[in-house]
Chains A and B, each alone.
Chain A
Amino acid sequence: MKTTMTIPSPGRKALAFPYILWMIGFTIIPLALIFVFGLTDRNGAFTLANVAAIARPDHAKALSRALLLSLVSTVICLLLAFPLCMILRGRRLGTGSFVVFIFILPMWMNFLLRTFAWQTLLEKKGVINGILGAMHLGSIRIINTPEAMIFGMVYNFLPFMVLPIYNTLCKIDDSLIDAAHDLGADFFQTLLRVFVPLCVPGIVSGITMVFVPALTTFVISDILGGGKILLIGNVIEGEFTRSSNWNLGAGLSLVLMVFILISMAALSFFDKNGEGTAF
C-alpha cells in the first residue's frame, strides 16, 4: 500500500493563508501604492506628468546610461560565467562541491561592505595602487568612472549568472554529449548545438537576475562612481529620500518597470518552456 502525504482539502487551503497574506502585504499593496503615487500629483489629482518626466534630458540620460551599463555588465557576466560553468561541469564536481562553494561564499557577506571594500581597493591612494606603487608599476585610475561601476556590477552579480547556468549544465545527460560525438560533432559543434540550446533556461534566468538589479542599482553608482555618474536608480532614490517627491519617484519607477517587463518578455521568447524565468 502506497501512502502519500495528503492533507484534507480545507486544511490544505489554510496552509496557503500565510503566503496569500505575504503577497498582499508585501507585493500587491506596495505595487498599488506605486501606481497611486506615480499617477497622481502632490494634491492627489490624476496626472501623467510623473511618467512623462522620463523625457526630461537629465532623466532620459540617466535611463539610457543605466541601460547601457547594465547591458554591458550582463554581457560580461555571461561571457565569464558560461566558460566557467563548462569547466566546473567538466570537472564533475557536483552542486555541493568546494569550488562552487567558493563562488557563493562572498555572497554571505553584506553587499554594501563588499562594494565599500572595492572603493578602498581602487582608490587613488588605495590598496591596489599602494602595491603597484611599491613595485614601481605606476598606478591605475579607475575609481569614479563608468568602468569602475561596470566592474562593481560584474563583481556583485556574477554569482547570480553562475548558479543558474551551472545548474542547467549539470542536468544535461552525458549520453547526449556522447551521441553528439558519435555523430561526428566536434567540440564547437557540440557546444553550440547541444550545450547552448539546452542551457537556454539557465542563461535566461541568469540574464534576468543580473540585468534587473544592475539596471536599478543606485548603491554601486554612488560608491564606485563618486556620485558623479547618475543612473536612473539614483534619480529615483533621490526623489524618495532627498527631494521627498514620492510622486515623481514612483512615476519614474513605473517607467523603469516597463523596461524590466520588456526585457523579460524578450527573454521569455527564447525560453519558451518558461523553465528559467526567475519570476
Chain B
Amino acid sequence: MKKNFRTRILVLLLAAASAFPTAACGSGTPQNGAASASDDGAAADGDNVLYVYNWGEYIGDGVVEQFEKETGIRVVYDTFQTNEEMYPIIEAGAIRYDVVCPSDYIIQKMIRNDMLYPIDWDKVPNISNIDEKYMKKSEAFDPGNRYSVPYCWGTIGILYNTSLVSPQDTPDSWNALWDEKYSDNILMLDSVRDTFMVAEKLLGYDVNTTDEKQLEACRDLLIRQKPLVQAYVVDQVRDKMIGGEAAMAMIYSGELLYVQECLEEAGSPYVLKYVIPKEGSNVWIDSWVIPKNARHKENAEKWLNFLCRAEIAKENFEYITYPTPNRAAFELLDPDIRNNREVFPDDADLEKCSVFEYLGTAGDELYDTMWNEVKAY
C-alpha cells in the first residue's frame, strides 16, 4: 500500500516535470537553442537583429552577409520546405520571425487570419524596381498590394524530351499528357492543386473552383489518365527527365535552366524543352511578408528594400534560377536569358495563366478527398 502511494507521487512529479518544459516552449521562450532562431537574442542585441524565414536554397550566396555588412543588423536565417510546414510555426509564434517568404495562396490565408503587418512603402522605395505586372498579379491574393513584396515567380508547364516525342506530337496542349502513345512515359506532379489545375484548364473551369460537380469531372479525367502515368513525383521530376526515364512531364518553370545546364554538362544527345500549354496554366508568386508578431519591423523593411535592389535581385536570380519579378534586375541580365521565353514568358503566354487562391478548410478538404480517390484508384 505504502509502496503504491510512493510510486504514484513519483509519477505525478514526473508528469509535472515533463509538463514544465512544454509549457515554457508554448509561452515563447524555448529552452535549447538548436534552431538558430530559438535563442532569444533580442535582449542582447537590442534592435539590431532580423529573423528571416525562407525556402531552402532560395537566396544567392553571400547576400545575407552583404546585408549584415551594410546595415550592421545581425541576421538569423532559417529555412522551410513547404508552405504547410511554415504556416503553423508563424501561427504559433513560438519563434517570432520578422520576415517570411510564403506563396500566394498562403499569403491570402495569412491576410484573412489577420497575421500580417501592412508594409510601410515609404521605407521600401526600391519597390519601384518590381514590374507593375507582378504587383497587379499579386492583387489576386493581396488586394491593394498592402502586405507583400514579390520575390520569385514562375509557371507550370510540360517539359518534353525531343528524342522521345516525335515532332508531330510536340505538345502545345495539356491533352498531350493524355496521349496513349506515350503510355508509361508521362510524369505528373504529386501535388493536389497543381495536378487538378491541369484538369481544370482542360475542362475550362476556374482553377480555384470548389464546385463539387466540376471537381468530380476533373477527378474522373485524372483517373482516366492514371494508367498512362509512369509516376506521380515532385522533386524527382528533374532527375528522371535528365535521365531520359520519361518523354513528358509536368514541371515548375524554374527548374528549366538547371535541367538544361545539367544536360549540357553531361553532353547529352537529347534536348529538353518547356512549353506552357495553350489552355493556360498556373502562375505562382512567392513574396516576402512581415508577420504580425514580428519584433523588428523596421529591420524587416530594410531587408525588403535591400532585396529589391537590382544587383541583389540579379544575384539571387542567378543562384535560384526562378524568374525574378524585378524589372531593374531583369534589364541587367544577359540578352540570351532575357529573351528565353521558356524562363520569362511574355504577356501573351501568361494571359491564360491564373493565380491560386486560398480555398478555405472545406475547399482544401474537398480537393484532398478527390486527389486521394485518384491516387487510390
Which positions in A face B, CB cutoff 8 Å?
13, 17, 20-21, 24-25, 29, 42, 56-59, 61-62, 123-125, 144, 226-228, 230, 234-235, 238-239, 241-245
Are A245 and B372 closer than 8 Å at their CB atoms? Answer: no
Are B245 and A227 closer than 8 Å at their CB atoms? Answer: no
Chain A proximity of B218: nearest CB distance (Å):
16
Q: Which residues of B contact A20 (CB under 8 A)?
A: 10-11, 14
Residues B1-43 near A (CB distance < 8 A): 10-11, 14-15, 17-18
Residue in chain A with minimal CB distance to B85:
A241
Which positions in B face A, CB cutoff 8 Å?
10-11, 14-15, 17-18, 82, 84-85, 87-88, 190, 192, 226, 229-233, 243-245, 361, 364-365, 368-369, 372-373, 375-377
Residue in chain B with minimal CB distance to A224:
B231
Chain A proximity of B33: nearest CB distance (Å):
20
> DSSP class of A's interface residues: helix, strand, loop or mixed?
helix
Chain A proximity of B368: nearest CB distance (Å):
4
Are A29 and B18 closer than 8 Å at their CB atoms? Answer: yes
A-B contact pairs, 8 of them (CB 8 A): A124-B245, A125-B244, A125-B245, A226-B229, A227-B233, A227-B375, A230-B375, A242-B84
**Interface hub of B11, B15, B231, B368 (most chain A Cβ within 10 A):** B231
Q: Which residues of A contact B15 (CB under 8 A)?
A: 24
Are B373 and A57 closer than 8 Å at their CB atoms? Answer: yes
**Interface hub of A57, A228, A238 (most chain B Cβ within 10 A):** A228
Instruction: Determine which of A25, A58, A244 lies in contact with B372 in the assembled complex, contact meaning CB atoms within 8 Å.
Output: A58
Residue in chain A with minimal CB distance to B232:
A227
Chain A proximity of B268: nearest CB distance (Å):
12
The 9 tightest CB contacts between A and B, nearest first, are: A226-B231, A227-B232, A58-B376, A243-B368, A230-B376, A230-B375, A58-B372, A227-B190, A58-B373
Q: Which residues of B contact A59 (CB under 8 A)?
A: 372, 376
Are A230 and B372 closer than 8 Å at their CB atoms? Answer: yes
Are A245 and B232 closer than 8 Å at their CB atoms? Answer: no
Residue in chain B with minimal CB distance to A246:
B88
Do A243 and B365 contact each other (CB < 8 Å), given the known contacts A227-B375, A230-B376? yes
Are B243 and A243 closer than 8 Å at their CB atoms? Answer: no
Chain B proximity of A145: nearest CB distance (Å):
11
Q: Which residues of B contact A243 (CB under 8 A)?
A: 364-365, 368
Residue in chain B with minimal CB distance to A16:
B10
Chain A proximity of B67: nearest CB distance (Å):
32
Bound together, the chains give a CA A237 to CA B233 distance in angstroms of 15
Are B226 and A228 closer than 8 Å at their CB atoms? Answer: yes
